[in-house]
Structure 1
Amino acid sequence: MASSLRHFAGLCCFPASAAAAAASGTTCLLRRYTPNFCAFAALRPARPASPAAAANPLASPADHEEHPAHQQAVPCRDGDPPALSSAPPPAPAPLRVGIVGFGNFGQFIAGGIQRQGHTVLAASRSDYSAYCADRGIRFFRSVDALCEEQPDVVLICSSILSTEGVVRAIPFHKLRPDTIVADVLSVKQFPRNLLLEILPPSFGIICTHPMFGPESGKHGWSKLPFVYDKVRVMEDGDQVAKCDQFLSIFEQEGCRMVEMSCTEHDRYAAGSQFITHTIGRVLSQLNLKSTPINTKGYESLMQLTQNTVSDSFDLYYGLFMYNVNATEQLDNLERAFERVRQMLYGRLHDLIRKQIVERVHMQTVSLEKLENDRSNSCATHLVSSA
């Protein structure tokens, strides 16, 4: 070993080619007796010890290893962008949605919220504690108790007629100042104006209308329209993120998301939803019955009647009372019915008139012929008498 080291020490005296050969042999000897030796070790930049190694120099190297998943952005030389962390951003915490009004529609919406992994709290005048216990929902007998839990989103699922009383009874002072309040009413201008009037200015407001219900959405929400209007969402703070997270519930359920102003929604809804309910209510007054010779169209009318009368009359009245466009549509419907009736009676009048005119003409011809016959008969009688 000593001779080998002396041989290595004398390399500087050899020519270049000889020195290279000697260095190669010396490297092999060093690797043989010192397995951790590397000929290029001197060329490697020294890596500073990690904070963990400095704090505990006796720990094993594996304990000092820094895992890439936990690295943070590291500043580089001037002019170079910082090295980004390879760790994915943390997933947002699940929302806590408090539903006020837990009837059929509130329960229906709660199912979709839970399917997306969020927590549901519910308050209602009726006792749904057993229903909620079976589905992992926290039920409160009062809105005050629900608000003390400070949910991220308060979702109003009351009827249209009771909404104002429900909203005015909510103790907003018990909620966080950045709470988002949303509704699912079938009319939109009314809750928009109501929430803007009553809610503290820091509260977020989202007016929504799922254009489906427990019957039409019982097989899933895919491609069913969900209308929403971000009436007031503060840019600073967490309201934007929570608003997007809330709307993503319906997007992830497959809904066709339609952003639309409340005014525009009510104009469209009066010409579609209100008219549909009106026609269904009118048909229900006819007591339509199934027959042995039903056509597809007739069966569709019977299904329309069943779907509309299954909803409460309060819902239909709310569509009329709280949508400023409903009266105009009702007048349009009445005028349209009158025009159709005039079309029928007009054609019938023309047909009857034609028949009457033809009959009168035939009768006139018969009378003239009768007079002629009488005249001829009298003349013949006079001639024969003479």
Structure 2
Amino acid sequence: MHSSRKTVSSIGIMGFGAFGRLMARHLQPHFPLLVCDSEQPPAVDGSGKGLAPSDVKAVGACDVVILAVPVDRIPTAIVALRPHLRAGTLVLDVGSVKIGPARAMQVELPEDVDILGTHPLFGPQSARHGIRGLKIALCPVRGRSSPRVAAFLRKVLGLKVVMTTPDAHDRETAMVQGLTHLIAKILVRMEPLPHRMTTASFDLLMQATEMVRHDAPNVFMAIERANPHARAVRDRFFAIAEEMRQLLEDDHLAQPTLPPSRKSPAEASA
């Protein structure tokens, strides 16, 4: 991972929740990490290049700063970091939506700071067997860091990189993530669900549900509320569901009449 500087001597991470810990696990073999999280401070870890708890000032002085906080906390994190950032620093976020965070970073961060929106299209559950081969979206906002970041992600971490824009990202994930999490939430509310006589397709549906079941509530709210394209997708989904309900409850279709039986010639003459 590179900033506009020639080398990266350290990476700072704001936030050490489930995803912050996942990132640290895969970045620590390559870079020294400093982590700032007052609610979940990490323990000192000397493996790899090392990981240490730190404060916002030290994190802001790193060559690369990763905002691993919930989407609604990004503005607060930016305000805290802004006085400590140096020219040429790369600041990136890892949120599930991109339009709002990209706008906030572009407006509030110093003009001499590079900005890159990222969205790893996986989480702790889907990455439990490793991240190689999984996808990550990159949304360049400011600066020239994105090609080198993409090269590191592809060649070193083995990720599949999707280059896009914040708007295009949010349009696609409004359906990809919005519907997945919405359906999973509904299925969880319908429990207990069958587990003995199941089909392959039902098992796959349950696997998808399990991948997002334990996501923090703020992840679901960000996907559904912070993405400006999510409501249109959600409304369309519920409208089609209502059409299907009406179709299935239509009296004519629910109780179809059988065609009149045809009598044989013998029966007709009887």
For this structure pair, what is the TM-score category when the shorter chain's length is used for normalisation? 0.7 to 0.9
Quick one: distance in 2 between partners of 1:161 and 1:144? 21
Per the alignment, in what secondary structure is the counterpart of residue 162 of structure 1?
helix
Query: In the alignment, what sits opposite 1:5?
Result: none
Q: How far apart are residue 152 of structure 1 and its match?
A: 0.7
Cα distance change, pair 108–200 in 1 and its aligned pair in 2 (3 A): same
What is the CA deviation profile of residues 287-345 of structure 1, one whole-angstrom value per residue up to 9, with x for unaligned ones? 13343312222222322332222102211011112111111111011111012112222
1:124 corresponding residue in structure 2:
37
Aligned counterpart, 1:223 = 133
Bigger Rg over Cα = 1
Partner of 1:139: 53
Q: 2:89 aligns with which of 144, 155, 179?
A: 179
The answer as to whether partners of 2:8 and 2:64 remain within 8 angstroms in 1 is no
Q: Is the 8 A contact 1:189 1:262 kept in 2?
A: yes
Contact in 2 for aligned 1:209/1:228 (Cα 8 Å): yes
Match of 1:205 among 107, 111, 115: 115
Residues 159-192 of structure 1: CA distance to partner in whole angstroms, max 9, x if unpaired? 122222222222x232212211100000000101
| Aligned mates of 1:327, 1:354 — CA distance in 2 | 40
List alignment gaps of at least 5 residues for structure 1. 1-91, 234-239, 359-386
1:316 aligned to 2:220? yes
Q: Is 1:110 the equivalent of 2:19? A: no
Aligned 8 A contact 1:207 1:228 in 2: yes
Is contact 1:320–1:326 with CA below 8 Å preserved after alignment?
yes
RMSD of equivalent CA atoms: 2.2
Q: Could you tell me how far apart the structure 2 residues matched to 1:351 and 1:267 are?
A: 37
- Report the counterpart of residue 246 of structure 1 in structure 2: 149
Which of the numbers 274, 278, 293 marks the counterpart of 2:197?
293
Amino acid at match of 1:113: L
Q: Aligned-pair distance for 1:118?
A: 1.8
User: Following the alignment from structure 2 to structure 1, what is the Cα–Cα distance between the partners of residues 206 and 256?
Assistant: 38
Structure 1 runs of 4+ with >6 Å offset: none
The answer as to whether partners of 2:9 and 2:31 remain within 8 angstroms in 1 is yes
1:188 partnered with 2:98: yes
Instruction: Return the alpha-carbon distance in structure 1 between the equivalents of residues 254 and 121 of structure 2.
Output: 47
Residue 79 of structure 2 corresponds to which residue in structure 1?
Answer: 168
2:67 to 128, 149, 156: 156
| Matched residue type, 1:155 | I
Amino acid at match of 1:152: D
Contact 2:16/2:40 (8 A) holds in 1: no
| SS of residue matched to 1:169 | helix
TM-score computed with the length of structure 2 as normaliser:
0.85
1:214: which partner in 2?
A: 124
Q: Measure, in 1, the Cα distance between the counterparts of 2:195 and 2:64.
A: 50
- Asked if structure 2 preserves the Cα contact closer than 8 Å seen for 1:157 and 1:183, the reply is yes
Is the Cα–Cα contact under 8 Å of residues 288 and 302 in structure 1 kept in the other structure? no
Which residue does 2:3 correspond to in 1? none
What letter matches 2:87 in structure 1?
P
- CA contact 1:320–1:327 (8 Å) conserved in 2: yes
Higher RCO (CA < 8 A, seq sep 6+): 2
